Homo-oligomer: A and B are copies of this chain.
């Protein structure tokens, strides 16, 4: 019989190539490698917290694809259902780290990746059994990558719903991949059926044509009105997060103060903590309103730990996050215990 997962996720993972020491790409003589992808970042976070996670994707069978597979397996994610191909390529992105006024710059090089050519039939359909997982977690990036990726994500959604799994969807808008209008249409089927809808404030404003000064509470209200079935969580960067379950109260969660060592992947880490909060405190698939406050707190804790860790993935421990979640205040000291 099949394995039982807490979370199944689907998405693209790329290699991030970064010149060391804030050098520009054109000055680089070598590049540091990190493995990163929104869904696999979340998967690593969940695995580190102790849950069982399966990551679905499509990878080219070469050294670069193996590197991604090794890294995710190493951090405890089940990759045994990844679809391997000899075709296509592994997506890359080059990150030029910079501070103001230069700023960081990204050169994406992800076109024609293996995931962008993933077909609905590449999904391990037999996995989508009732009880085989509690949650399917997807983001708005995957349907934006290509038409076939969108169809594949849609099929995964359908299979998960059919199997009775809960669905978590993170809007995660990528302006380099599609326009806000395309995103609104493309995300519609996911947002409309998600049990948990995670929306970065800026993305929500952009996608739903809300003014850049619309108050967060109003954005949250807008989302609840349109997607009444979902527990909606709005992430607001340094202003923390807020969420509301259907017919529940609005709950606010400030950030835990954190040094910024690795900026990228904070939202994915938040999603991992959030899902963990719901799943670790609940044996059933429903997102009971009573767990939202706890889930938001786990989300904030894992995100803060991620910010102080290099790389894209939240390579954190359950003990660290639990300590933060249990802390009385949202502040912490940084002494070395010896």
Chain A positions within 8 Å of B, measured between CB atoms, are 1, 17, 20-33, 62-64, 66-67, 70-71, 73-76, 89-90, 92, 94-96, 98-109, 111-112, 174-176, 256-259, 261, 263-264, 301, 304-305, 308-311, 315-316, 320, 324, 332-338
| Other-chain contact of A112, B31, B111, B263 (Cβ < 8 Å) | B111
Which chain B residues lie closer than 8 Å to A305 at the CB level?
101-102
CB closest chain-B residue, reference A67: B26
Beyond the given A92-B92, A100-B259, A112-B112, could you list 13 further A-B residue pairs with CB under 8 A, ordered by the A residue number? A22-B261, A24-B309, A25-B66, A26-B63, A28-B33, A71-B74, A99-B308, A101-B258, A101-B320, A102-B305, A104-B334, A106-B338, A108-B338
Which chain B residues lie closer than 8 Å to A324 at the CB level?
101
Q: Is the CB of A103 within 8 A of B24?
A: no
Q: How far is the CB of A82 from chain B (nearest CB, A)?
A: 13
Q: Is the CB of B33 within 8 A of A32?
A: no
| Other-chain contact of A338, B174, B256, B316 (Cβ < 8 Å) | B174
Q: Is the CB of B98 within 8 A of A308?
A: yes
CB closest chain-B residue, reference A107: B62
Q: Is the CB of A334 within 8 A of B103?
A: yes
Which chain B residues lie closer than 8 Å to A74 at the CB level?
70-71, 73-74
Which chain B residues lie closer than 8 Å to A26 at the CB level?
63-64, 66-67, 70, 315
A107 to B74: give the CA distance in the assembly, Å. 21
Q: Supply 23 A–B pairs (Cβ within 8 Å), ascending by A.
A: A21-B310, A22-B309, A24-B315, A25-B62, A25-B67, A26-B63, A26-B64, A27-B311, A62-B94, A64-B107, A89-B111, A99-B308, A100-B308, A100-B333, A100-B334, A101-B332, A101-B334, A103-B333, A104-B334, A104-B335, A105-B337, A112-B112, A176-B338
Number of copies: 6
A231 to B314: give the CA distance in the assembly, Å. 48
Q: How far is the CB of A46 from chain B (nearest CB, A)?
A: 16
A227 to B33: give the CA distance in the assembly, Å. 48
A67 to B263: give the CA distance in the assembly, Å. 24
Which chain B residues lie closer than 8 Å to A261 at the CB level?
22, 98-99
CB closest chain-B residue, reference A319: B61
Which chain B residues lie closer than 8 Å to A32 at the CB level?
29-30
Residue among A63, A71, A259, A264 with the highest chain B CB neighbour number at 10 A? A63
Q: How far is the CB of A241 from chain B (nearest CB, A)?
A: 16
A111 to B116: give the CA distance in the assembly, Å. 15
A70 to B77: give the CA distance in the assembly, Å. 11
A70 to B63: give the CA distance in the assembly, Å. 18
CB closest chain-B residue, reference A258: B101
A320 to B324: give the CA distance in the assembly, Å. 40
A74 to B75: give the CA distance in the assembly, Å. 8
Q: How far is the CB of A268 from chain B (nearest CB, A)?
A: 13
Q: Is the CB of B64 within 8 A of A89?
A: no
Q: Is the CB of A101 within 8 A of B308?
A: yes
A13 to B76: give the CA distance in the assembly, Å. 19
